[in-house]
Structure 1
Amino acid sequence: MSFALGLVPIVLLLLGFPIFLVLLTAITVALVFFMNLPLAALHQNLFGSVNAYALLAIPYFIYAGELMGRGSVAQRLVDFVQSGTSPLRGSLGITTVGTATIFGAISGVSAAAVATIGKVMYPPMVKDGYPKPFAAGLITAVGAIDIIIPPSIPMIVYGAAAQESVPRLYAAGMIPGLLIAAILAAYVMWQARRGNFGASQPFEFKRFLQATVRGLWALGAPVIILGGIYGGVFSPTEAAAVACIYAILVTRFVFRELTWRDILEAAVATTRFTAQILIVVACAGVFSWLLTVNQVPAALVAWLQSLGVGQWSFLLIVNVVLLLIGCFLDPLSAILLLTPLLIPVVKALGIDTVHFGIVLMVNLAIGLFTPPFGINIFVAQSVLGIDLKTIYRGILPFAALYLIGLALITYVPWLSLAGVWLLLN
């Protein structure tokens, strides 16, 4: 059995097979050669794995993000943030951080933030004297905030896998996401002063007012989504559906930027992306079921308890492992593979599963822009039209800043749990 559930996936991953095919092959080998179970169990568990109400929110949030990303939403958000940060040194870099954070509260898809914001912000930053590696590294790294800030799609998947409340996870992600954004913004200001680029401009109230009015409809999306959830008006899934309707109304009738054909094309793109996600969810669900049936999580808990591993040392080990795994696997695959193994240990050690979920998100957010397979790196290369060497040079300091944020979030649990207390009590 260890051959099927351990060696087969590792070999197939190293050979470059898609993650869903890796899992499906391992499952089939285990069922056919090592377990006396009919193959009908495979079909039943495949469909059972995606039969979760929380997962309905995924296509809705993707669709809302697709619609809002196809018009001038990003430019409107940039104008709004920049009009308020213009008196600060490095205002364009700070605007990039602020816009990515707000865009994350609309989309929840990191690659979409890198592509959308990169197109708008990279040319003016280079024109304003920002070094190309610095500008490229900032854009590549800042998009990772989008899986920490709600409404995060990986949080929905973690909530389903760990049987944890999605509203609690969303509430817990706010302060950590804003903390990392603040760390990045402070670093941008320090580097701008040190490198003598990104000169400040006088604050103009008229310009700020105009940008606010112009960006009001774009800013309304996160207000409706999060306000509706925490105001008790609707659930996260219902909020996602409302966000779609809002996005269609704004982009089609208010901004008048998208045609019905564009809206249909966004729906097609959403369908494809959702299918890519759910096939991994389905296969990972069966793989998790096999691990549980064979008592692998229970054995792992017993082994760690026999070693006398405490909360701090366990979290340190998990962080190291997750940072390594994040370099090779996308966040959704990593969440679905590791959550069934780690959650029993987390509960046995008395670690809050909401806090652990945020630690998991931050680790996997770092993996989005670290070599060799960080998806944000390749999106940035395509959108910005620069070589990988320049991006690699630029992301190193930002990776270090994320690690500082990760250490604080890991060992100061109230940074995550305070949001839950404030919004849900």
Structure 2
Amino acid sequence: MIGAIFAALPLLLTVAGVPIFIILLAVTALGINHLGTADLRIIHTSIFGGLDSFPMLAIPLFIFAGDVMAQGGIARRLIRLILSLVGGIPGSMGVAAIGSASVFGAMSGSSVACVAAIGRLTVPTLIEQGYGRRFSGSLIAATGVIDIIIPPSIAMILYGITAQVSVTQLFVAGVVPGIMIAALLSLYVMVRASVMGTVRSARPQLPVVLGALRDSTWAMFAPVLILGGIYGGIFTPTEAAGIACTYSIIVSVFIYKELSWADIWRIATSSSVLVAQIMLLVAASSAFGWLVTTSGLPQKFMALIQGMNLSVWAMLLIFNVVLLLVGSLLDPPPAILILVPLLAPVVQAAGIDPIHFGLVVTINLAIGMFLPPFGINLFAANALFKIPLGELYRGVLPFLVIYLIVLGLITYIPELTTVPVGFIMGLTQ
């Protein structure tokens, strides 16, 4: 019976189109009633307990800060600066889009926001320069998920809270994978652009670079302030999110003067919709997590894995396949909140570093966001740029290969994530 509650019921409700948070609450209520270990009032306690978290405040703050930066001129100036530096090389506009998404990821944590902000500014130019609609839209859909991997990352914050590990250490661990992905994507774009014979942007000229540098000084200081403060131990990720909001408002309203207070209110209202969706999931998954823990399901799952006598190598391979499939169906927040309470005890028992596994989870779910046929970034690119989904499915395949290569390296060479964490944490202590 308990198996039907945890497996069959969510599947049926998902097929019926029921919202995820309602599914989680329904499963929790039925599970509590079946087990008889507590009454339904525990749901209220779990919901409010899950939301009453200081690290959780970073999520709405980073989302709001990212929206302000996208609309307040900060993102546009960063693209202009990066383009002025990489002009003249094959695929310069594509490389600029990748670099801009990476820098934008260091200021925000929303992948769809990155697709919208960077895509609107780069896709028309990419098409004009001969990259083609399919390649341009696919590039942005795949590049947008760097926001999930490069800190600060909403997915990492949720993983850190759920797995009870340091969010700051997760942020540090995400730097190397993010740089690897950006570098390999840029290399592929340069080779592809050379073959396609796309138009090259003007070579870097000192007056142009200095002008872009002068115009984007305040924009460049944003990621330095946010990440420098976190890694330097000056403030926590949550405090960094609050500083990011304040800084982005000051720069956009008083320095660049591209936003009014009415615009700030409009952005706050629109970003609150996404925040509400995430918080509903957090609230429902807190109750669901309590049920999973008290039902003994993690112990049964751990016993099943141990009974298979799998090596750590094989176990990680299975987890990767499961996470990729789940990531293609669910956004990172609900996927993390549902799976991590189940997987964390197994990972701990197997001796896998929880920070390393956090990056494995994050990269898998990032790939899922543009994995055909249900990746949300594909639908975002389709809606924003009117590119048929069939073309996007074919267009993202080369980028999918690149991400899978990095996923394999991160999965089986944990030192790529653990060594930077040990080094940075050693400096700040």
Instruction: Give the letter for the 1:14 counterpart.
Output: V
Structure 2 matches for 1:265-284, cutoff 5 A? Answer: 265-284=266-285
Instruction: Give the letter for the 2:71 counterpart.
Output: R
**Deviation of 1:209 (Å):** 1.1
Tell me what 1:285 maps to.
286
Tell me what 1:193 maps to.
194
Tell me what 2:62 maps to.
61
Contact persistence 1:110–1:146 (CA under 8 A): yes
Tell me what 2:318 maps to.
317
CA-to-partner distance for each residue in 1:130-149, whole Å, 9 max, x for gaps?
A: 12211111011000010000
Structure 2 matches for 1:54-133, cutoff 5 A? Answer: 54-133=55-134
Tell me what 2:403 maps to.
402
Consecutive aligned runs of 4 or more in structure 1 exceeding 6 Å deviation: none
**TM-score between the two structures when normalised by the length of structure 2:** 0.97
Tell me what 1:372 maps to.
373
CA-to-partner distance for each residue in 1:174-199, whole Å, 9 max, x for gaps?
A: 01011001010000011111222243
Tell me what 1:382 maps to.
383
Question: Secondary structure of the equivalent of 1:203?
Answer: coil
CA-to-partner distance for each residue in 1:348-367, whole Å, 9 max, x for gaps?
A: 11110000000111100011
Contact persistence 1:140–1:377 (CA under 8 A): yes
Tell me what 1:231 maps to.
232
What is the rounded CA distance, in whole Å, between the counterparts of 2:76 and 2:275 in structure 1?
26
Contact persistence 1:136–1:390 (CA under 8 A): no
**Deviation of 1:158 (Å):** 0.4
CA-to-partner distance for each residue in 1:350-395, whole Å, 9 max, x for gaps?
A: 1100000001111000111122321111111122122222222211
Identity of aligned residues (%): 45
Question: Secondary structure of the equivalent of 1:327?
Answer: helix
Tell me what 1:146 maps to.
147
Question: Secondary structure of the equivalent of 1:232?
Answer: coil
CA-to-partner distance for each residue in 1:115-168, whole Å, 9 max, x for gaps?
A: 111111111111111122111110110000100000001110000000010000
CA-to-partner distance for each residue in 1:254-301, whole Å, 9 max, x for gaps?
A: 010111111111222232221111110111111111111111111111
CA-to-partner distance for each residue in 1:72-101, whole Å, 9 max, x for gaps?
A: 222211111011101311100100100000
RMSD over aligned Cα, in angstroms?
A: 1.2
What is the rounded CA distance, in whole Å, between the counterparts of 2:387 and 2:308 in structure 1?
48
What is the rounded CA distance, in whole Å, between the counterparts of 1:239 and 1:50 in structure 2?
19
What is the rounded CA distance, in whole Å, between the counterparts of 1:35 and 1:9 in structure 2?
20
Question: Secondary structure of the equivalent of 2:396?
Answer: helix
What is the rounded CA distance, in whole Å, between the counterparts of 2:179 and 2:37 in structure 1?
50
- Listed as ranges, the gaps of 5+ residues in structure 1 are none
Contact persistence 1:328–1:372 (CA under 8 A): no
Contact persistence 2:94–2:126 (CA under 8 A): yes
Instruction: Give the letter for the 1:15 counterpart.
Output: A
What is the rounded CA distance, in whole Å, between the counterparts of 1:202 and 1:291 in structure 2?
58
Number of corresponding residues: 425
What is the rounded CA distance, in whole Å, between the counterparts of 1:199 and 1:294 in structure 2?
60
What is the rounded CA distance, in whole Å, between the counterparts of 1:10 and 1:110 in structure 2?
26
Tell me what 1:12 maps to.
13
Contact persistence 2:70–2:76 (CA under 8 A): no
Tell me what 2:36 maps to.
35
What is the rounded CA distance, in whole Å, between the counterparts of 1:247 and 1:75 in structure 2?
13
Tell me what 1:347 maps to.
348
What is the rounded CA distance, in whole Å, between the counterparts of 1:128 and 1:91 in structure 2?
10
Contact persistence 1:100–1:117 (CA under 8 A): yes
**Deviation of 1:14 (Å):** 1.9
**Deviation of 1:418 (Å):** 2.5
Tell me what 1:48 maps to.
49
**Deviation of 1:55 (Å):** 0.4
**Deviation of 1:200 (Å):** 5.3
**Deviation of 1:401 (Å):** 1.0
What is the rounded CA distance, in whole Å, between the counterparts of 2:34 and 2:425 in structure 1?
49
- Listed as ranges, the gaps of 5+ residues in structure 2 are none
User: Which deviates more, 314-323 or 198-207?
Assistant: 198-207
**TM-score between the two structures when normalised by the length of structure 1:** 0.98
What is the rounded CA distance, in whole Å, between the counterparts of 2:408 and 2:202 in structure 1?
35
Tell me what 2:300 maps to.
299
Contact persistence 2:373–2:393 (CA under 8 A): no
Structure 2 matches for 1:206-221, cutoff 5 A? Answer: 206-221=207-222
**Deviation of 1:36 (Å):** 4.6
Contact persistence 1:58–1:153 (CA under 8 A): yes
Instruction: Give the letter for the 1:62 counterpart.
Output: I
What is the rounded CA distance, in whole Å, between the counterparts of 1:115 and 1:271 in structure 2?
17
What is the rounded CA distance, in whole Å, between the counterparts of 1:409 and 1:36 in structure 2?
41
